[in-house]
Structure 1
């Protein structure tokens, strides 16, 4: 499916800032192309920063500010416990609810598989959210008999997602690249919004990301001087 045939997309993450490190350039490309993008963040990232009681509110505010830099204004925070997410039936239901409300053509989430090449990003919460999101995409959101309260009590009609994009999976499975050269500055602006995590995203982080995205672009044959994010593409239209 080309971008021209995509009306809306949903990004499902475990924590605030996940999307900005892994896919904010891609989101900026999509919104610039007229795609309506929504975020579903399963935790509020409260097990981070200084650990204060107000950290959840701080991180939610940071994610809203980051989202605005890449053209996203529709955000849902599910409030699951940071660091203790499991692919439960409750989480599947709650993600399916957002899918039925947003009715996206495309869902982007994190891979449920371990990226052994770079373990620091393979957080258990990421994998749990990826597994739950896949189940919410297929079969839950499209099945009128799954989570019956969504239809019977909330009036949310079934919806079939046509594309699933997985971030941070095993490199050998990544088969789709998005040229983010023109959106890189917006990605960095989004990352700088998360000041509670590492302070303002400075020159060192920017240089590291430029090198990584340049190597990704080269790997996918996009040419010298280009920057890219990459994903595993799954056709879920059938």
Structure 2
């Protein structure tokens, strides 16, 4: 059985097996900023990871000359970046950038994918606003987190929610773990040592060339935040970590509705 990457926090990789993961991001590049080090560690250990990008990223970028081709560019950037961290399955929901809402249409799409993959861990952006660094809290980010959180409980595990999915053979499923990223610092309760995969993460981020007017500044910002996270976790000097708010959704003590 593959091992999860070393971590500090409520999720114990020695006891909690990770075989499949679905990772949700609002835009192409969100997952590479937030979780690609952890994803690279998982895939290196044999874990199957699916990416799901909720919007097409059509409002992103900086070059007016890219407007006509930006969606195709960002799809290709995301597929290429995902491949670098060992992810072959990239799903695009196709919602308009800047207009994402935690609607039943979006929630149904989330439920469908989770029931199809039946992951041990679902990753999503945090639904709470970060007032210390509001750039982490793009409205689409918050909508991504809210839609996934609402979908996981109760709809994914309720056989009577979106009955057309059950009729299509996608039975209800109880998600064990929800890992939220890009949230307020005070919500962090879990950090993953990704020191061995920092360069892989940076390389994946560099693929999103349409989004980086200053690649060097982006790289230094990401590296410094990961070093600070590792220091907060008490990891060895020079280490790097990614941070999460880990929520146990279903465990042996869970009672439906409580």
Q: TM-score range by the shorter chain?
A: over 0.9
- Following superposition, the deviation at residue 34 of structure 1 comes to 1.5
- Root-mean-square deviation over aligned CA pairs: 1.3
Gapped regions of structure 2 (runs ≥ 5) = 1-10
Q: How many residues align?
A: 236
Indicate if the aligned counterparts of 2:26 and 2:53 stay in contact, CA closer than 8 A: yes
Indicate if the aligned counterparts of 2:118 and 2:173 stay in contact, CA closer than 8 A: yes
Indicate if the aligned counterparts of 2:212 and 2:218 stay in contact, CA closer than 8 A: no
Cα distance in structure 1, aligned partners of 2:93 and 2:222 = 29
Alignment partner, residue 183 of structure 1: 197
Matching of residues 71-150 of structure 1 within 5 Å: 71-150=86-165
- Following superposition, the deviation at residue 204 of structure 1 comes to 2.9
Cα distance in structure 1, aligned partners of 2:154 and 2:108 = 11
Q: What are the Cα deviations for residues 180-224 of structure 1, in whole angstroms up to 9, with x where unaligned?
A: 11000110111011011115x733322222211111100011121
With the length of structure 2 as denominator, give the TM-score of the two structures: 0.88
After alignment, is 48-57 or 190-199 more displaced? 48-57
Query: Which residue among 27, 30, 37 is the counterpart of 1:15?
Result: 27
With the length of structure 1 as denominator, give the TM-score of the two structures: 0.95
- Following superposition, the deviation at residue 44 of structure 1 comes to 1.1
Moved over 4 A (4+): none
Cα distance in structure 2, aligned partners of 1:6 and 1:66 = 22
Indicate if the aligned counterparts of 1:46 and 1:82 stay in contact, CA closer than 8 A: yes
Match status 1:162 vs 2:182: no
Query: Which residue among 215, 224, 238 is the counterpart of 1:211?
Result: 224
Query: Which residue among 216, 236, 245 is the counterpart of 1:223?
Result: 236
After alignment, is 202-211 or 227-236 more displaced? 202-211
Match status 1:27 vs 2:42: no
Alignment partner, residue 234 of structure 1: 247
Cα distance in structure 2, aligned partners of 1:141 and 1:41 = 19
| Counterpart secondary structure, 2:244 | strand
- Following superposition, the deviation at residue 156 of structure 1 comes to 0.8
